[in-house]
């Protein structure tokens, strides 16, 4: 069985964007706008149609089985609006993911976005996580380390700000994927530099602070192959050694996905990162949608690279399935 731990609902029916655009127009006119949750008008047939030709078709073509599925990351846009609007938007997006998983329980397992908002405490996110996991059977969450959208003016992950969230994740036994949203800063390209920079930044925040050792059982997935981290494995190990920081114990908490879209990158990832810390993922349908001329397959058909890597069957099975089951124990109940 192949579990893809990183998929977003990037192909939502038009009713989702319509609802959000109405909300965005309202907060643009009045930043303190609250509004109401209201309704997102999307039919089950529309959901089926939006997936059958995309994520489900790719699952079949590529021979993957289950996608751990969350709302479109670039649309979380925590920097847009306020705590209230972020809450309503997150609730809708998470309920939509629940509907997807109800329609295709064999194909998708639900992960939620959190109603973070710049300057707001994390409490509302803790409540939404509790609701999603306890009431709706979610198996994990996405945590945005920079809800400002590329200005990085909020508290780092080691700050007390985050503690209630980490504690709730441990209590519920769900991991978090560290994943920023769209860049609102013209210096950054969302999927090209902002995502990768944030991945590296999050790892370095964990390494330099050692905060994870205060939270036994806390598990974080750093997506996009860990940003720049595996490529600079020696740099990070060397800095840790110079500073007396505990590099190895990070591996009790941090996992990297395989969203690296060429063979040489995957070869490096599996060469340096312990195999137990690698989770298969493709992020399809996501940042890159074309065909890789080197393989003739889609760039984001990461199974091709994992098959091509120097791995034993035992190692491949760990990356494809067993590690995900260990990191997302609630998969057992749903999947």
Stretch that binds a second copy, among 86-94, 168-176, 189-197, 211-219 (CB under 8 A): 189-197
Confirm if 276 and 250 have CB atoms less than 8 A apart: no
Residue 291: DSSP 8-state? B
Q: Where are the alpha helices (DSSP H) in the chain?
A: 14-29, 44-52, 55-62, 83-103, 123-130, 136, 163-172, 195-209, 233-243, 263-272, 302-308, 313-317, 323-327, 331-334
Stretch that binds a second copy, among 45-53, 75-83, 129-137, 223-231 (CB under 8 A): 223-231
Confirm if 287 and 191 have CB atoms less than 8 A apart: yes
Q: Cα–Cα distances in Å, from 295 out to 88, 257, 261, 264, 320?
A: 43, 20, 11, 12, 20
Confirm if 247 and 288 have CB atoms less than 8 A apart: no
Closest contact distance (angstroms) between CB of 233 and a second copy is 5
The structure tokens listed for 301 are 């058909």
In the window 39-98, what residues touch a second copy (CB under 8 A)?
Answer: none
What x-and-dash track marks residues 263-282 binding a second copy by CB under 8 A? -xx-xx--xx----------
R_g of the chain, CA atoms, integer Å: 19
Closest contact distance (angstroms) between CB of 226 and a second copy is 9
Interface residue with a second copy, options 15, 48, 151, 173 (CB under 8 A) = 151
By beta-carbon proximity to a second copy, the closer residue of 111 and 228 is 228
By beta-carbon proximity to a second copy, the closer residue of 216 and 244 is 244
Reference 108, options 132, 138, 129, 131; nearest CA is 138
Reference 123, options 153, 182, 163, 171; nearest CA is 163
Strands 108-112 and 140-143: parallel
Closest contact distance (angstroms) between CB of 24 and a second copy is 23
Q: Does 307 bind a second copy (CB under 8 A)?
A: no
User: Distance (Å, rounded) from C-alpha 165 to C-alpha 168?
Assistant: 5
Q: Does 150 bind a second copy (CB under 8 A)?
A: yes
Interface residue with a second copy, options 120, 196, 279, 327 (CB under 8 A) = 196
By beta-carbon proximity to a second copy, the closer residue of 208 and 213 is 208
The structure tokens listed for 298 are 């889609």
Q: Is 332 a catalytic site residue?
A: no
Closest contact distance (angstroms) between CB of 245 and a second copy is 10
Tell me which of 283, 321, 332, 333 is the catalytic residue.
283
What x-and-dash track marks residues 203-222 binding a second copy by CB under 8 A? xxx-xx--------------
Q: Does 232 bind a second copy (CB under 8 A)?
A: yes
Q: Cα–Cα distances in Å, from 155 out to 78, 121, 186, 212, 334?
A: 15, 10, 22, 16, 34
What x-and-dash track marks residues 118-137 binding a second copy by CB under 8 A? --------------------
Active-site annotation, residues: 283
Q: Enumerate binding residues for a second copy (CB under 8 A).
A: 145-146, 150-154, 156, 185-189, 191-193, 196-197, 200-201, 203-205, 207-208, 224-225, 227-228, 230-239, 241-242, 260-262, 264-265, 267-268, 271-272, 287-290, 292, 294, 299-300
């Amino acid at each position: 069985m192949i579990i893809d731990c990183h998929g977003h609902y990037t192909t939502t029916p038009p009713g989702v964007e319509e609802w959000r655009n109405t909300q965005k127009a309202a907060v643009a006119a009045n930043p303190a706008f609250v509004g109401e949750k209201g309704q997102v008008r999307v039919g089950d047939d529309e959901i089926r149609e939006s997936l059958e030709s995309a994520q489900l078709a790719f699952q079949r073509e590529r021979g993957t089985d289950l996608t751990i599925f969350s709302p479109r990351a670039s649309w979380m846009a925590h920097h847009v609006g306020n705590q209230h609007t972020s809450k309503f938007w997150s609730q809708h997006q998470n309920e939509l993911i629940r509907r997807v998983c109800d329609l295709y329980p064999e194909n998708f397992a639900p992960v939620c976005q959190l109603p973070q908002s710049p300057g707001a405490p994390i409490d509302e996110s803790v409540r939404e996580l509790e609701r999603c996991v306890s009431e709706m059977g979610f198996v994990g969450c996405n945590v945005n380390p920079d809800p400002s959208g590329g200005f990085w003016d909020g508290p780092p992950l080691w700050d007390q700000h985050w503690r209630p969230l980490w504690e709730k994740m441990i209590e519920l036994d769900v991991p978090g994927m560290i994943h920023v949203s769209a860049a609102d800063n013209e210096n950054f390209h969302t999927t090209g530099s902002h995502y990768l920079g944030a991945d590296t930044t999050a790892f370095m925040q964990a390494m330099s602070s050692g905060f994870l050792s205060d939270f036994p059982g806390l598990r974080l997935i750093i997506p996009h192959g860990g940003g720049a981290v595996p490529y600079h494995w020696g740099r990070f190990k060397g800095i840790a050694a110079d500073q007396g920081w505990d590099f190895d114990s990070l591996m009790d908490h941090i996992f990297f996905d395989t969203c690296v879209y060429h063979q040489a990158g995957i070869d490096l990832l599996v060469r340096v990162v312990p195999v137990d810390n690698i989770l298969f993922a493709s992020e399809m349908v996501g940042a890159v949608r074309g065909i890789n001329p080197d393989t003739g397959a889609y760039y984001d058909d990461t199974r091709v690279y994992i098959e091509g890597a120097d791995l034993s069957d035992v190692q491949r099975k760990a990356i494809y399935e067993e590690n995900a089951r260990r990191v997302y124990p609630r998969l057992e109940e749903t999947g």
